[in-house]
Amino acid sequence: MNVLSRLETRGIPYLRALFQSSSIKYLTLLAGVASLGSIFGMASDSMYGVSNQINLIAYWHIGLATAAAVALTVTFLGCALYLATETPFWEFLAHSSGEVGFLMVTLTLVTGSVWGKVIWNSWWEWTDIRLVTFLVIWFIYAGYLLIYSAGGDSASLKRITSVYGIVGFVTVPLSYLSTRLWTPTFHRPTTGNPDADATITVPALLLSIAALLLVYLYLVGSRVQLRELKRRVNYARRDRTLDDHAMGPSQGGD
């Protein structure tokens, strides 16, 4: 049995069971409460030499950016698996993860702008490579969702959208590596950078990231289940229509 066959026979049932598990909902709630408690109870509000409560938004900003990266990576993998197998589940997973990822990219941009106004006295800065490349991600995945929504049930357009989702993914690692590949205006690397002057309370940040990853998992699971339910309903309606057409002539002959 090859890798794709194992994914089909083991991976899909496992993911369905995960998405249907009620424990995800409770874990998401628990992690969210713990994250809020840690951010407002222990997180530092002093960053880049500025002490302000608005700095606490950084913990959601970074968490949202991390969850967005995970979501768009899942979209990339789902698109690749759909092209390889044409199994509807992978298409549903790719699109659902793209929807949630796009939402998180949007919220990352919004929270970053609010935070940046306090820290750098600017809502936006076109010279900052991270901001510009992240905006490119937003446009790329807005295009992905628009193309998908225009396709309906067209199999050919689903394949085109999947190719788009694979090619467009190159913008994601490019944006996340941009501050190391080019000189940033604002977003200087903090990991592995001894000159970084941002103060982050690590436990609060890790809790925020965990909470937002669980929010992502809950949302994408709900979307996949909804898509599969809609597909079953559509099949049931189609079968009923076919049965009605098949019975119609015979009843008329009587």
- pLDDT value of position 254: 44
How far apart, in whole angstroms, are the C-alpha atoms of residue 17 and residue 217? 13
Cβ burial, residue 248 (10 Å; 0-12/13-18/19+): exposed
**Between 248 and 108, whose confidence is greater?**
108
pTM for the whole structure: 0.86
Least confident of 82-91, 114-123, 188-197, 245-254: 188-197
Whole-number pLDDT of residue 188: 53
pLDDT tens column, 10-37: 889 999 999 999 999 999 999 999 999 9
pLDDT per residue as tens digits for the range 71-86: 999 999 999 999 999 9
Segments making up each domain of the chain, as ranges: 57-189+196-226
Whose CA is closest to 87, among 9, 178, 204, 195? 9
- The mean pLDDT value for 106-123 works out to 87
Contact 196, 158 (CB under 8 A): no
Res. 163 pLDDT band, cuts 50 70 90: very high
Per-residue confidence (pLDDT) for residue 164, from 0 to 100: 95
For residue 115, pLDDT over 50 is answered with yes
Confidence of residue 181 (pLDDT cuts 50, 70, 90): low
153 secondary structure, DSSP code: T
Residue-level pLDDT at 191 = 45
Note the pLDDT of residue 125.
Answer: 83
Label residue 50 by pLDDT band (50, 70, 90).
confident
What number of residues does the chain have? 254
pLDDT > 80? residue 184: no
Average pLDDT over every residue of 135-157: 88
Check pLDDT > 80 for residue 95. Answer: yes
pLDDT at residue number 186: 55
pLDDT for 7: 77
How many whole angstroms separate alpha carbon 175 and alpha carbon 213? 20
Q: Is the pLDDT of residue 1 over 60?
A: no
- Of all residues in the chain, the percent with pLDDT exceeding 70 is 84
Residues 6+ apart with CB under 8 A from 119: 47, 48, 50, 55, 186
Q: What is the mean pLDDT of residues 196-216?
A: 86
